Structure 1
Amino acid sequence: MFQEVLSNILTFYDYLLKRTDARVRDYPLMQSPIQMTVILLGYVIFVLYVGPRCMANRKPFCLKTTMIVYNFSMVAFNAYIVYEFLMSGWGTTYTWRCDLCDPSSSPQALRMVRVAWLFYFSKYIELLDTVFFVLRKKHSQVTFLHIFHHSILPWTWWWGVTLTPAGGMGSFHAMVNTCVHVIMYTYYGLAAAGPRFQKYLWWKKYMTAIQLIQFVLVSVHISQYYLMENCEYQVPIFIHLILFYGTFFFILFSNFWIQAYVKGKRLPASTEDKPKQNGITTVIEPVVVANGKHLENGTVHYTNGFAHNGKVKEV
């Protein structure tokens, strides 16, 4: 029985490899699903087991400069991907309804193949988000939702890029997701830059709402398929998976919203907004200690006198 199951798996594997779009075969990580599966398993093992154990007796790493560069680089990278999606069809020839994959080797089709792979590859770069949490010992940020979202998306998109890399209505959710990431990494970059940029982060509370809007847009767009009399999208199973993806993550992020903002489990303790993103925590209120000193943002200020034998003499 085991041999039969193994034989069926190998047969299905060979079938998938034969179905791989020739236009994407030479791109990195596209030769086999084994490579990307090993990378994602390694990611999960590191963030859940290896990383926390290695950091258990170490001080958190100071990665402020690294994270500023990383976040704003991701803003630029995602903005470029959005532009390429628009120029490859969504802003030029697509109807935004039953848009099929282009099997040709036209310049626009090849451009869509390239940006589809860039989107897929960006998901591996985003794994650094969790690595930063682990290295800075911000373990409360490493939630089930965070790990599941970061690991399942690149795994599923490998199949999409393998079988239908030339866009069509199945690539709409990728473009929307990239738009959201431009906003998200802008926020992360400003938060990492320090307290002087805090006044620009008033929109922190809308970040989850933006994510929810993303899943609504994706679900509504892909649902058109079920209302059309004739839409011969080449791989219908991807339509069903995208609808499931949009609905499932809408439920997960809605639960996060309820827990965080309705039940108040993630609301700040004071009226001041203290952003925490990518492992950066900003403290803005002064802490008063003995001898007339105020500690604010790590700087010591002396007030109206000096300490002498436990007493304060006026100047």
Structure 2
Amino acid sequence: MVREVITNIVRFHDYLLRRTDARVRDYPLMQSPINMTLILLGYVFFVLYAGPRFMANRKPFRLNTAMVAYNFGMVAFNAYIVFEFLMAGWGTTFTWRCDLIDPSSTPQALRMVRVAWLFYFSKYIELLDTVFFVLRKKHSQITFLHVFHHSFMPWTWWWGITLTPAGGMGSFHAMVNATVHVIMYTYYGLSAAGPRFQKYLWWKKYITAIQLTQFVLVSIHISQYYFMEKCDYQVPIFIHLIWMYGMFFFVLFSHFWIQAYTKGNRLPVSHVEKPKQNGFTNGHAVSVPNGTYLENGNVCYTNGFAQNGKVKEV
């Protein structure tokens, strides 16, 4: 029984190696699903177990400079990915309807293969989001939604660009996602830059709205397939998976929106009760949307707090 299972796994692995698109076969992390699966399992193990244990008796690391460089680097990287997706088809030859997979080796097809891999690779860089949370002991940020999203995306994209790197209409959601990340990492970069930028970060709530909009756009675009008279998309299973992906994450992010904003867990400053000398009348710190909170009469920031009129890092 065990030997049969191992034999089937080996056969499936060999099949994947044969089926891998020759145009992407030599790119890093594309030779086998084993390497990328081990990386993602290691990520989950670190953020849920090893990292918190390592930081248990240590003070949070001050990583402001590294985070500013990382976040604005991701802004530039994702902007480049969006540009390449546009030049590889979405802004040039695609119809935005039934755009098929291009199996050729034309310059445009190879450009789409390359940017598809860049998008895939960016998902591994984004794992640093959670590593920063762990090292800064921001454990409340490490939610199921966060960890699942960061580990699920690169795993599924490996299969996508292994079989369909020049994915036609199946690559639309990647371009939209990279666009959203330009906005998102801009916010994170400004937030990490320090308290002097807090007044420019009133739009945190709208990041979630933008993320929800992306899932609506992706679902609407891919849903065209089901209403077209004829669309000979070569690997329709990816159409179904992208539609399910859009709907599934729309539900998860909607739940976050309800918990964070509709139920008042992140009320605007005007709705926050004024503190007394030793803190709030209810004795609790209350979150506000610009990345600050009030505690014991002090204004505390994601990267620092005001104490005796001076801003100090935490």
The verdict on how the C-alpha distance between 1:26 and 1:234 changes in structure 2, with shifts beyond 3 A counting, is: same
Tell me if 1:245 matches 2:259.
no
Q: Paired residue for 1:198?
A: 198
Displacement after TM superposition at 1:282 (Å):
4.9
Tell me if 1:29 matches 2:37.
no
Q: Deviations over 1:37-72 (max 9, x none)?
A: 000000000000000000001111000000000000
Displacement after TM superposition at 1:187 (Å):
0.2
For the Cα contact (< 8 Å) 2:100–2:167, is it kept in 1? yes
Q: Paired residue for 2:280?
A: none
Please state whether the residue corresponding to 2:103 is helix, strand or coil: coil
- Summarize the alignment of residues 176-255 of structure 1 with structure 2, pairs less than 5 Å apart: 176-255=176-255
Tell me if 1:103 matches 2:126.
no
Tell me the TM-score normalized by structure 1. Answer: 0.88
In 2, Cα distance between equivalents of 1:10 and 1:298: 56
**Percentage of identical aligned residues:** 78
For the Cα contact (< 8 Å) 1:64–1:192, is it kept in 2? yes
Tell me if 1:173 matches 2:194.
no
Q: Paired residue for 2:138?
A: 138
266-275 vs 224-233, greater mean Cα deviation: 266-275
In 2, Cα distance between equivalents of 1:200 and 1:256: 23
Displacement after TM superposition at 1:257 (Å):
0.4
Q: Deviations over 1:240-273 (max 9, x none)?
A: 1101100000000000000000112244674764
In 2, Cα distance between equivalents of 1:63 and 1:192: 9
In 1, Cα distance between equivalents of 2:10 and 2:304: 56
In 2, Cα distance between equivalents of 1:130 and 1:283: 20
For the Cα contact (< 8 Å) 1:274–1:282, is it kept in 2? no
For the Cα contact (< 8 Å) 2:160–2:238, is it kept in 1? yes
- Summarize the alignment of residues 9-24 of structure 1 with structure 2, pairs less than 5 Å apart: 9-24=9-24
In 1, Cα distance between equivalents of 2:266 and 2:204: 12
Gaps of 5+ in 2: 274-287, 293-300
Q: Paired residue for 2:310?
A: 296
The verdict on how the C-alpha distance between 1:264 and 1:188 changes in structure 2, with shifts beyond 3 A counting, is: same
The verdict on how the C-alpha distance between 1:177 and 1:24 changes in structure 2, with shifts beyond 3 A counting, is: same
In 2, Cα distance between equivalents of 1:274 and 1:119: 29
Could you say which structure has the larger radius of gyration? Answer: 1
In 2, Cα distance between equivalents of 1:91 and 1:167: 15
In 2, Cα distance between equivalents of 1:105 and 1:247: 34
Q: Deviations over 1:182-213 (max 9, x none)?
A: 00000000001112112221211101100000
For the Cα contact (< 8 Å) 1:72–1:185, is it kept in 2? yes
- Summarize the alignment of residues 80-119 of structure 1 with structure 2, pairs less than 5 Å apart: 80-119=80-119
Find the partner of 1:275 among 291, 294, 299: 291
6-15 vs 235-244, greater mean Cα deviation: 6-15
For the Cα contact (< 8 Å) 2:205–2:289, is it kept in 1? no
In 2, Cα distance between equivalents of 1:70 and 1:6: 41
In 2, Cα distance between equivalents of 1:232 and 1:18: 24
In 1, Cα distance between equivalents of 2:205 and 2:166: 36
225-234 vs 65-74, greater mean Cα deviation: 225-234
Please state whether the residue corresponding to 1:297 is helix, strand or coil: strand
For the Cα contact (< 8 Å) 1:274–1:281, is it kept in 2? no
Displacement after TM superposition at 1:11 (Å):
2.0
